[in-house]
Amino acid sequence: MDTSIVYLNGEWLPLSNARISVLDRGFILGDGVYEVIPVYAAEDGRQRRPFRLEQHLARFARSLAKIQLANPFEASSWRILVDEIISANSAENTGHCLVYIQVTRGVAPRAQAFPENVSPTVFMMTMPLNLPDETALEQGVAAVTAPDARWLHCDIKSISLLGNVLMAQYAAEHQASETIQLRDGYLTEGASSNVWIAKEGRLFAPIRNHLILEGIRYALIEELAREAKLIFEARPIKEEELRAADEIMLTSAGREMIAVTRLDGYPVGSGRPGAVFSALHAGYQRAKERE
Ligand code: PDD
């Protein structure tokens, strides 16, 4: 039984006691948005701090606005709730964790258009943050490709994740860590990650638009690339360029940055994590310490 403490509509309670109505629009219609924030524990395991919280809360506000759902809290109140959920779960688990936040349009008789006078359902929980292990960092991971069959609002961090779920399952069935999606011959993103390529020492990523979720790591990697004096360009990336890349990298809250060293069964570049990955991964670790 999971005894971690969660937040549900103003109450703090053990996860196993948290209940919502089957008429919640999140359950019935997937009508809601979410955020996943990494929280790092200090060396002694005691102090735990969210990483890039402001940026996560700002993206959450954008997702809510894009689905026309009023933000139930100001950023300052969200910050307090995030701190509270971290402390509420500190005795239980003193390692790194992820804070998960979800807001749905609330409980109402099933109908697709927005109900009137309904309060949103607000839910928060913590989850373990299992960073990539030494082997994954040293050897990289395998990825497969598949057509991007999702809708055209991938910039919204929607809880309607069926397209992503099917892609993650496709990776699992192909002994791969991620499915890299392609739309009309161009790279979009992973099932739950942004994708970066390096060619001749330069870094490239797809443009931030409605076809990808702008990861909180997107701007971070841009900063780290500048710091490492790498030339970075955001532009459409053709499938052929993906396949001919010297390096492919994934970023997400849970994976930080990881190298893809096999794509559809073929080695990527030298088949080992490359210099661009090493520079950015090291920069990421420094950014965590700084913040
Ligand atoms: N997913 N693209 C998609 C489709 C994602 O689901 C994610 C992250 C990202 C990377 O975003 P960020 O750098 O902010 O984590 C890109 C989270 C971790 C999840 O759904 O669990």
Share of the chain above pLDDT 70, in %: 98
Average pLDDT in the chain: 96
Q: State the distance from the centre of ligand 1 to the C-alpha of 59, rounded, in angstroms.
A: 12
Average pLDDT of 9-36?
Answer: 98
pTM: 0.97
pLDDT at 1: 65
* Residue 168 beta carbon below 6 angstroms from any ligand 1 atom: no
Residue 229 has pLDDT above 90, yes or no: yes
Listed in order, the ranges of the chain carrying CATH 3.30.470.10 are 5-128
CATH of region 134-290, choose from 3.20.10.10, 3.40.640.10, 3.30.460.10, 3.40.50.150: 3.20.10.10
How far apart CA 279 and CA 228 sit, in angstroms, is 7
pLDDT at 93: 52
Residue 207 has pLDDT above 80, yes or no: yes
Q: pLDDT by residue (tens digit) across 89-148? A: 987 556 899 999 999 999 999 999 999 999 999 999 999 999 999 999 999 999 999 999
Would you state the structure tokens that stand for residue 11, as one six-digit string? Answer: 């109450």
Average pLDDT of 245-267?
Answer: 98
pLDDT at 15: 97
* Residue 63 beta carbon below 6 angstroms from any ligand 1 atom: no
Residue 274 has pLDDT above 60, yes or no: yes
Residue 66 annotated in active site: no
Would you state the structure tokens that stand for residue 15, as one six-digit string? Answer: 């996860």
Average pLDDT of 201-219?
Answer: 98
pLDDT at 3: 80
* Residue 36 beta carbon below 6 angstroms from any ligand 1 atom: yes
Q: pLDDT by residue (tens digit) across 172-206? A: 999 999 999 999 999 999 999 999 999 999 999 99
Listed in order, the ranges of the chain carrying CATH 3.20.10.10 are 134-290
* Residue 253 beta carbon below 6 angstroms from any ligand 1 atom: yes
Catalytic pick from 66, 157, 229, 238?
157
Q: State the distance from the centre of ligand 1 to the C-alpha of 116, rounded, in angstroms.
A: 31
Average pLDDT of 66-70?
Answer: 98
Give every CB contact of residue 99 below 8 A, 6+ residues apart in sequence.
35, 36, 37, 39, 50, 82, 85, 86, 124, 125, 126
* Contact criterion met (CB below 8 Å) for 100 and 125: yes
Q: State the distance from the centre of ligand 1 to the C-alpha of 253, rounded, in angstroms.
A: 6
Atom of ligand 1 nearest to the CA of 216: 14
pLDDT at 46: 66
Atom of ligand 1 nearest to the CA of 213: 2
Q: Does domain 5-128 have CATH number 2.40.30.10?
A: no
